[in-house]
Amino acid sequence: MPIKVLVVDDSALVRNLLSEIVRGSPDMQLVGAAPDAFVARDMVNQFSPNVITLDIEMPRMDGLAFLEKLMAARPTPVVMISTLTEEGAEATLRALELGAVDFIPKPKLGVSSGIREYAEIIIEKIRAAADVKVKPLIKKHRPEITEDQKIMNPVGLQSTEKIIAIGASTGGTEAIKDLLVQLPAAVPGIVMTQHMPPGFTRTYAERLNKTTRLHVVEAKGGERILPGHAFLAPGGYHLVVVRSGADYRVKLSDAEPVHRHRPAVDVMMESVAQVGGKNVIGVLLTGMGKDGAKGMLDIRNRGGYTIAQDEASCVVYGMPKEAVAVGGVDQIVALDKMGQALLDKIKAMGSGNRL
């Protein structure tokens, strides 16, 4: 059975380009191309698409409003088409909160050549989305946490010797947030790689900083990795962890993409394994592809501990599955139990409280 795809975009050019890409894939069937949310609603009822590509900025009813209605009434896998702007990043992250599976950034210039260049990735993302079991939208209210509330609560978890490395891709923006909100302020320093383009990571880090007890920032390079702090790899750069005397520090690298990604989870995890050895906990969350599998194995081979998200709670069980397959995983845990699993392991590793 081919994957039935509905394209929704107010730009005739983008509609035609996406339609052409879908038609060119033998395992897909274009069931419709809608210029706005109202036409899209009728087409959803008529054709029951398996996947929808949805533009955020549309007249009459924007993509976010349509997405919220869709997820409440008829949950369907959605891949957002977003602009590479700060507003676009905010809207995209909101769409992922509302239940969109993934997003494709729309090139600022040369839309036609840019989207064709993305053709292979677009097809991959639609394929991955088709396998996702979308759940009806449940609104989670998380009060914002002010900087004054981010006070260290020492519970034997604070250490500059231990370090946590978290990697994720498709479905990861929500998974990382769901994990971090389970953690107290006094955890070892955290480094994170989430596959995202430049411009999106700063906005994402700011959102995480408002909803968790940790100090979350987009890494700039040179920072000392301290307890209660989490550093997110910026789009377009690999995050590498280096030793500086007794400290771990963040270094950014513009080396070649790995698995077509920069930042790549493998680059971050391999660097952490090298400098941290037995003091590292690697965490691999939902995502498409195999980035992170080698890094998790490296951490494990050097005496560190690794935790992977279980299949049932993953949006896409790709990266964790690959890590399990290569023998890189010590423990498989559901996302809602992962915070406790991390805290238990940190306590079991002993104090090492050199600050």
Instruction: Catalogue the active-site residues.
Output: 169, 195, 291
Amino acid at 128: A
Residue 233 has which token pair? 């790899």
Residue 175 CB: number of other CB atoms within 10 A? Answer: 24
**Kindly report the CA angle at 170 between 24 and 176, in degrees rounded to 5?**
170
Name the 3-class secondary structure at 114. Answer: helix
Cβ(327)–Cβ(298) under 8 Å? no
Considering only the C-alpha atoms of the chain, give the largest distance between any 2 of them, rounded to a whole number of Å. 64
Amino acid (one-letter) located at 290: K
Burial of 145 (0-12, 13-18, 19+ CB in 10 A): middle
Q: How far apart are CA 204 and CA 300, in angstroms?
A: 29
Query: Which one-letter DSSP state was computed for residue 52?
Result: E
How does strand 247-253 pair with strand 238-244?
Answer: antiparallel
- Tokens representing 151? 């006070």
Rg (Cα) of the chain, in Å, rounded?
Answer: 20
Q: Do the Cβ atoms of 297 and 167 come closer than 8 Å?
A: no
